[in-house]
Amino acid sequence: MSGYLDMELLRFTTAGSVDDGKSTLIGRLLYDSKSIFEDQLEAVKSASERLGNEEVNLALLTDGLRAEREQGITIDVAYRYFATPKRKFIIADTPGHIEYTRNMVTGASTADAAIILVDARNGIIEQTKRHSYVASLLQIPNVILAVNKMDLVDFSEEVFNKIQAEYKIIAEKLQLKNIHFIPISARDGDNVVDRSQHTPWYKGSTLLQLLETLPVRADESELPARLPVQYVIRPQSDNFHDYRAYAGRIASGSFKTGDKVTILPSFTQSTITAIDEAEKSLGEAFSPQSVAIRLADNVDISRGDMIVKSDKQPNLNANVSLMVCWLNHRPLYTGGRYIIRHTTDEVLGIVKDISYKVNINTLENITEVDQLAMNDIGYISIKTSKPLKYDLYANNRVTGSLVIIDQNTFETVGAGMIVAPIEEEIFTI
């Protein structure tokens, strides 16, 4: 049992346009890898019959809501878990409709790999470029271009090679490094789990073989130590009269008793005397553990503060530049005021400047813009009411990301990745 629990975990996301076959692909992975229960399969068979499908509709394995099944579409991010003898997996299935780009941001934020599906009949389309751009922004280490529905183009090597050549140009512009191309038929299972007899010209791995061997993202425990404080624990009881601890989830790195730490933004210094987890004390704790840290000094700390090791501190600045994916029908505009949620902190922020937005079709930057519409991706600068304690997104995904919230509705309207001014050209095409 311990061997199973110790198995390596790969997180991956799927993306593509409407009807590219994402849900069918995941259903095929689950079915052919024997990762579904008999009652699940029977439920899908019954649902398929009610929908008038002549064959079992494997896409229904990823539909979490009855309404989704009735309409034959998926409308939200669906997370699924499965395992093989070699590895455990968590899948984020993101809808393909253009209004739901925000779901790819959600589903891909922790992914080790992204499977981007392309309909072999249609080739590279706007949504392919959009999802690829988001993958580059989120710095997903591996991108798999799965050319689906090869059965509908007679498993043409020429069609596959043409799509592959076109996508390589896009990948180069976006600085995507680890790209893999696989010709598949999700409906029939060609090159998904088992090798297809219809593509003798394809010498690469099947999709599952590739997923079992891809490298997992580097351990966040190796990064500089960051603990955003979520809660100050002071029981004020007879048993814990003098107990004071600062609780939160370690965003990155590790802490141990005796470490010299700095509390931001006050720059107060102290020493860790104990690390508590549930009802036990630890000598050392690592990301992503949730712990309570006790310090040698009575320090004024509140939610939103950050405990870091004194020798490796993050940036502290009220003026930050970021790439933002806009997720709301009300546009972001210069001078707009929003709530900025960063780690456990919330501050007010104002948009100082919109440098450019990205033309998804040409991958060029459009300057002289004063707003971003829904699904736009752009480079902006904001000023916050108090300094943010951040690392660049390129160095730390947790402390380098933030969300933008509407002050009136409290809706999440944007997702941002912090970049330093010196890094402005990173995503310039």
Beta carbons of 261 and 305 less than 8 angstroms apart: no
Better-predicted residue by pLDDT, 145 or 30: 145
Q: Give me the pLDDT at residue 90, please.
A: 87
For the segment 315-322, the average pLDDT, to the nearest whole number, is 93
Could you write out the DSSP letters of every residue in 216-255?
A: PPPPGGGSPPEEE--EEE---SSTTTT--EEEEE--BSEE
Instruction: Tell me the residue ranges of DSSP E strands in 280-376.
Output: 280-282, 284-286, 290-295, 306-309, 315-326, 332-333, 337-342, 345-359, 364-366, 371-372
Cβ–Cβ contacts within 10 Å for residue 429, how many?
15
Q: Cα separation of 234 and 351, whole Å? A: 38
Instruction: Of 16-20, 94-98, 379-383, 389-393, give the lowest mean pLDDT range.
Output: 94-98
Instruction: Of 64-68, 102-106, 234-238, 346-350, give the lowest mean pLDDT range.
Output: 64-68
Predicted confidence (pLDDT) at residue 427 exceeds the cutoff of 60: no
Q: Cα separation of 323 and 348, whole Å? A: 18
Better-predicted residue by pLDDT, 102 or 210: 210
Cα separations in angstroms, 146 against 74, 106, 368:
19, 21, 36
Residues β-bridged to residue 290 = 249
Q: 421 falls in which pLDDT band (50, 70, 90)?
A: very low
Q: 394 falls in which pLDDT band (50, 70, 90)?
A: confident
Beta carbons of 253 and 226 less than 8 angstroms apart: yes
Instruction: Of 230-239, 360-369, 375-384, give the lowest mean pLDDT range.
Output: 230-239
Q: 26 falls in which pLDDT band (50, 70, 90)?
A: confident
211's tokens: 């997923």
Secondary structure letter of residue 362 according to DSSP: T
Predicted confidence (pLDDT) at residue 4 exceeds the cutoff of 60: no
Predicted confidence (pLDDT) at residue 423 exceeds the cutoff of 50: no
292's tokens: 């309570």
Q: 95 falls in which pLDDT band (50, 70, 90)?
A: low
pTM (two decimals): 0.80
Q: Which domains are seen in the chain, by residue range?
A: 2-213 (3.40.50.300), 221-309 (2.40.30.10), 315-427 (2.40.30.10)
Q: Count CA atoms within 13 Å of residue 264 on its CB side.
A: 23
For the segment 296-322, the average pLDDT, to the nearest whole number, is 93
Predicted confidence (pLDDT) at residue 47 exceeds the cutoff of 70: no
Instruction: Tell me the residue ranges of DSSP E strands in 109-213.
Output: 113-119, 142-148, 178-183
Top-ranked range on mean pLDDT: pick from 15-24, 86-95, 262-271: 262-271
Q: Give me the pLDDT at residue 101, please.
A: 60
371's tokens: 């707003």
Q: Give me the pLDDT at residue 242, please.
A: 78
Q: Cα separation of 113 and 89, whole Å? A: 11
Cβ–Cβ contacts within 10 Å for residue 96, how many?
24
> Could you tell me the maximum CA-CA distance found in the chain, to the nearest angstrom?
77
Predicted confidence (pLDDT) at residue 288 exceeds the cutoff of 80: yes
Q: Give me the pLDDT at residue 73, please.
A: 46
Q: What digits encode the pLDDT tens for the residues 157-201?
A: 999 999 999 999 999 999 898 999 999 998 888 999 999 999 999
Could you write out the DSSP letters of every residue in 46-111?
A: HHHHHTT-SS--GGGGG--SHHHHHHT---S-EEEEEE-SS-EEEEEE---SGGGHHHHHHHHTT-
219's tokens: 């351990």
Q: Give me the pLDDT at residue 39, please.
A: 58
Q: Give me the pLDDT at residue 69, please.
A: 41
What's the whole-number average pLDDT of the chain?
84
343's tokens: 């780690």
Q: Give me the pLDDT at residue 7, please.
A: 75
Q: Cα separation of 348 and 339, whole Å? A: 5
Burial letters 268-296, b for 16+ CB under 10 A, else e: eebebebbbeeeeebeebbbebebbbbbe
**Rg of the chain over all Cα atoms, to the nearest angstrom:** 24
Q: What digits encode the pLDDT tens for the residues 50-74?
A: 666 666 555 555 554 344 444 544 4
Residue 17: which of 99, 112, 106, 90 has the closest Cα?
A: 99
Better-predicted residue by pLDDT, 156 or 239: 156
**Percent share of the chain, pLDDT over 90:** 54
Q: 37 falls in which pLDDT band (50, 70, 90)?
A: low
Instruction: Of 66-80, 94-108, 340-354, 372-386, give the lowest mean pLDDT range.
Output: 66-80
Q: Give me the pLDDT at residue 227, please.
A: 97
